Structures are given as structure tokens and as C-alpha cells.
Amino acid sequence: MGENELHRVIKKIHTFFLIGLIFISYSVSQIQTRKIADGFDKPIYAVSHPTDHKMIFVVEQKGVIKIVNYKTVLKLPFLDIQDRVHYPLFPGDEMGLLGFAFHPEFSINGFCFVNYVDKNDYSIISRFKADSLTINPSSEKILLKLKQPYSNHNGGSIAFGPDGYLYIGFGDGGSAGDPERNAQNLNNFFGKILRIDVNTNPEKYTIPHNNPFIGKKNVKEEIFCYGLRNPWRFSFDSLTGDLFIGDVGQNNWEEIDVILANKMGGQNFGWNIMEGFHCYPEEIECNNTNLIEPIWEYPNNANYFKTLAGIKQTKMDGCSITGGYVYRGNKIPEFYGRYIFGDYCTGKVWSFIYENGETKNIKNHTLEILNSMNKNSFYLSSFGKTNEGELFIVDYNGGIYIITSL
């Protein structure tokens, strides 16, 4: 047995051990949910007002952002850009309004930022200016455009980091297996997280001086990290500044990647050379030199286990990871410091502690979440966060829930 093959076998044993821990911890119960509001049309994100945690902004994929004020959905939307968003969706489409972020100084400048795919299939990163509880759509300032070759893997998250820069997630461009090898190509934005400065020049973005690829030839200097398939949801730990990325897998593995706050970016997370800890496709050898492995993975295809280990699986853990947040609220003390995440397809929810380079104490919260929702399953499109650090769960079928203690 060669060294590479031995390494792969060890990885598989390690993975099955970790998966076993999920089920060992399955009965641990710490959290539940309470419904905030429902009736939304394909909601994909929720976040509280920067200065009022009881005012929640719910992003609908069709191009509308609605406000929930003390559990009442206001009739007048915060933003309505349906006239420019790619919608309605066709089967398999992942376009629409996908991401939203308040500027860190929103209370002063009124700036909000969105990520959407327009009717010509361009990903658009735009800034809008809010006037009280509404945005005039004509205030749009387009900062960045990216033509999408396919209708899937269009990314989603945008977020301001602790450095004040705007981070933007783009998928690999779509289709299956990244046929153009976009994620490994540093001369395009596909399969990357970008970092841009939207503060220095109000008319256009600039590139931070400490971006990892500044001054390099044939490289997009906006790139912060690469080798991602579709970083649908990522977030920063509000205490440490660490960046957690939920990267949607191809056929076998969903993964979570991390960039510590003391790192400078430039990480290559391996797609489409690797999927999770494994070569892609697994039947071939691959060179994983200088690739950054995930801190966690889980399987997304039941048939995979039958071929790998001869184990018959009737249920899968999921098919599309939904990245979450490190909990830094104060209402669930025993949950403090845990990273919570889930799966879109199955509604399964887990959490773990990540410290000193180690992922540990994985817990499965699925049953307690489903029981509190009175559901058998749901489509977990996103998590969200209040300005006090409490967390939301967003059900793509229309409901917004807040996570509470039992």
C-alpha cells in the first residue's frame, strides 16, 4: 500500500469515527426554537437591525426585504428590487437575491449592501442607502458585476469582517465538478471569497493593501481565499474574528473551513482537487500539497457508504451544508462558543467547539429543533444573528425562528 493510499484509508477511518460521534451525541438536548413570524416567500436570510434586536430584516429570494417589528410583519418592505432580480426560478436555479449586509456604520451613513443575480444572469454587488425603514431602489450603486455561466453555485453570503472590509462569496460558476476549474484559477472570481474596501472611495470599491495577492501578475487582487465550490453561508466569530465557511459539496461530502483571525488569507481549500478530506473524484490519486483541509465534514449521499464500507444507509445526513455562527449571546450560557450549522435538505442541525485547531464535542440538535418546530423536516436556508448575538433559523418554506434554551 502506497503512502497516499494509506493516508486516504486513515482519513476514512477518522471520518467514520467522527460520524459515530454525531450519533453518540444525538440525544444531548440544549436548545429549541420559538417562532418569530411566518408567511414569507422563500426566505434565505434574517438579521436584526444593528441597534434594535427586536426589529428583524427578512430577505426573500425574489428580491424583497421585509421587516418584522415585535413579531408584526410591516406592510411596507424595506427593499423591493423585483424589477431587476432573476426570478421566478426554474428547477435547479439558485439565483435571485442571495445576500444582505448592513454597513458597520449604518446608523450614521444608512448604507446597506446586497448580492443578487439580475435578469441578465450577472451577479451584482450593490450598495443602497436607507431612509428610516425604507430604501429607495434608485439609490443603488453597483460596485461589482460577474457574469454567471450557469444557474447554480452563485454564492450567497456577503459580510463585513472585523477589519471593516466587505467579504463576498462566489461559487465555482456551476454545472457539476467545476468543468472549467474555476475554483483553482486565480484570474477569476469563481470559487472564491473576495475582500474589498467600500469605505475609502464612496463611488467604487478599492482593494485592501493587505490582501494576499496584491501585486501578483495574472491574479485578481480582490481574492481573499479560493478553492471553494459554493460558500453559501459564511460568518465571523464576533469574539475572535475567525472566519467560518460552509462550503457545499458535490456528491459525497459537505465541509466547514476556517481561517483564523491571525492568518492573512490566501488559503486554497482544495476544490476541485479535493472534496472534504478526500480526493475528487475519490477513485483517483491527487496532490494535496498546500491545500487546507476542512475542520469538519459530513456525508451527503447514502449510496456512497454502501460502496465505501458495505454499510447500508437508509437516511443521509444531508445534501447541502448551511453554514452558521459561533454563538456569543448570553441567553444560553451552556451554548456559548459553540459553532452551529445545519443542512438545507434535511433540516439537521449540529454544533461543535473549535479551539486550538481541534473540532470537538460535536452535538446533534436535530430532534429538539424539529420537535420545537412541530415538524418532521424543513429546508434550512440560513441562520441569522441579532445584534446581541442570539441566533435565528430560517425555514425556506416561510418561517423565521429564534433559538432559545430548553
The residue-averaged pLDDT of 243-268 equals 96
For 112, 143, 165, 203, 398, the CA distances from 137, given in Å and listed in that order, are: 12, 15, 24, 17, 24
Rounded Cα distance, 15 and 297, in Å: 8
Q: What is the pLDDT of residue 267?
A: 99
CATH of the domain at 59: 2.120.10.30
Q: What are phi and psi of 19, to 5 degrees?
A: -60, -40
Please tell me the predicted confidence (pLDDT) of residue 301: 66
Domain that holds residue 392: 3-405
pLDDT tens column, 104-139: 999 999 999 999 999 999 999 999 999 889 999 999
Total residue count of the chain as it appears in this document: 406
Each residue's pLDDT tens digit, 156-192: 999 999 999 999 999 999 888 999 999 999 999 999 9
The mean pLDDT of the chain is 90
Please tell me the pTM assigned to this model: 0.91
Q: pLDDT band at 16, cuts 50/70/90?
A: very low
What's the one-letter identity of residue 370?
L
- The whole-number average pLDDT for the span 26-48 is 86
Determine the number of helices (DSSP H) and then strands (DSSP E) in the chain.
Answer: 4, 28
Average pLDDT over residues 9-18: 46
Q: Which residue has the higher pLDDT, 108 or 202?
A: 108
- pLDDT at site 311: 45
Q: Is residue 262 packed enough to be buried (19+ CB in 10 Å), middle (13-18) or exposed (0-12)?
A: exposed
What are the phi and psi torsion angles at 93 (to 5°)?
A: -65, 140
- Per DSSP, 225 falls in state E
Q: Can you spell out the DSSP letters for 255-270? A: EEEEE-TTS-S--B--
State how many domains the chain has. 1
**Taking 90 as the threshold, does the pLDDT of residue 146 lie above it?**
yes
Sheet holding 296-299, edge to edge: 233-236, 243-247, 253-259, 296-299
Q: pLDDT of 339-394, one tens digit each?
A: 999 999 999 999 999 999 999 999 999 999 999 999 998 999 999 999 999 999 99
Average pLDDT over residues 32-44: 97
DSSP state for residue 187 in the 8-state scheme: T
* Cell representation of residue 195: 475582500
CA distances, 41 to each of 76, 346, 403 (Å): 15, 19, 21
Coil, strand, or helix at residue 281?
Answer: coil
- Which ranges of 256-396 does DSSP label H, i.e. alpha helix? 302-309, 366-373
Supply φ then ψ for residue 347, to 5 degrees: 75, 10
